[in-house]
Amino acid sequence: MRKLNKPSTARGTLKDYVSYLLGEPLHARGSRLGGIISITHDSVNRFLLREHYTSEDLFNEVKGKINLEGGLLSVDDTVIDKPYSRPRGIIDYYWSGKPKKVILGVNRITLYDTDPSGISIPVSFRIDQTEEGKSKHDYFKEMIIEGKEKGIKAN
């Protein structure tokens, strides 16, 4: 579950952040969120660093909005480009399909539940951490098993 390091002073809230991710699942950026809710990019970063959200928090937020039966589970990974960073921690070199080359960035892996009417909602995520020694497929399997344990009965 979510662990708070200290009381939040950020103007953004969990509801703002989750609403943004639901509305912008493919091109989510802190600077874009900041522009939408009129806060600075640094405020978004401080908010995310302070709060430590987990995949469990995301699922708890969306479970009342999804149909748990008869949908389809799909997985997508997105490399968030960080060209001016150094490889360390979650920042590393990953293959990116858009430029069709290896780039320096953060690899976010997202599990989506698409209901029979075609509405797709993120229900789980992972940040690829090289030091864990897992492949993208290992993360995919973890998230699909986790989704089924939470009651998602997809085809």
What are the residue ranges spanned by the domains of the chain?
1-53, 67-155
Tell me which residues of the chain have a pLDDT lower than 50: 1
Per-residue tokens: 23? 């509305």
pTM: 0.66
Calpha distance 110→153 (Å, rounded): 18
103 to 31, 84, 91, 94, 139: CA distances (angstroms)? 20, 11, 10, 6, 20
Tokens of 123: 């229900």
- What's the sign of the alpha-carbon dihedral 24, 12, 107, 32? positive
How many Cβ atoms are within 10 Å of 3's Cβ, its own excluded?
A: 8
Backbone angles phi, psi at 42, to 5 degrees: -65, -35
Q: What is the pLDDT of residue 8?
A: 56
Q: What is the pLDDT of residue 6?
A: 57
What pLDDT shows up at residue 29?
Answer: 57
